[in-house]
Amino acid sequence: MIELRHVKKVYSANGGETVALDDVDLTIEDGAVYGIIGLSGAGKSTLVRCINLLERPTEGQVLIDGEDLTKVKKKRLLEIRRSIGMIFQNFNLLEQRTVEANVRFPLELAKVRRTTAAKEVRYTREEMRQRVGELLELVGLADKAKAYPSQLSGGQKQRVAIARALATKPKYLLCDEATSALDPNTTQSILGLLKNINETLGVTIVVITHEMKVVESICTDVAVIDRSRVAERGKVSEVFSFPQSEIAKELIIPNLIRSLKSTGGKKLRLVFNGEISDTPVISGLALRYGIAVNILYADTKNIDGKTFGHMVIALPDDGEKAELVKRHLAAQNVIFKEEL
The model's pLDDT over 15-67, given as tens digits with 9 standing for 90+, comes to: 788 999 999 999 999 999 999 999 988 999 999 999 999 999 999 999 999 99
Is residue 117 scored above 70 in pLDDT?
A: no
Question: Which SS3 state, helix, strand or coil, does residue 270 take?
Answer: strand
Same domain for 131 and 243, yes or no, is yes
Q: Are 60 and 8 in contact (CB under 8 A)?
A: yes
Q: Cite the beta strand spans of the chain per DSSP E.
A: 2-13, 16-28, 33-37, 59-64, 67-68, 84-88, 113-115, 120-122, 172-176, 204-209, 221-226, 229-235, 267-272, 294-303, 306-314, 335-339
Model confidence over 275-321: pLDDT tens digits?
655 567 777 777 877 887 888 888 877 776 677 778 888 888 888 88
Q: For the chain, give the number of residues.
A: 340
Same domain for 72 and 194, yes or no, is yes
CATH number of 214's domain: 3.40.50.300
Same domain for 73 and 141, yes or no, is yes
Count: domains in the chain: 2
Full residue range of the structural domain in which residue 204 is found: 2-248
Same domain for 189 and 265, yes or no, is no
Instruction: Confirm whether pTM is higher than 0.75.
Output: yes
How far apart are alpha carbons 339 and 174 in whole angstroms?
Answer: 39
Same domain for 182 and 289, yes or no, is no
At residue 202, what is the residue type?
G
Question: What percent of the chain clears pLDDT 90, i.e. is strictly above it?
Answer: 54
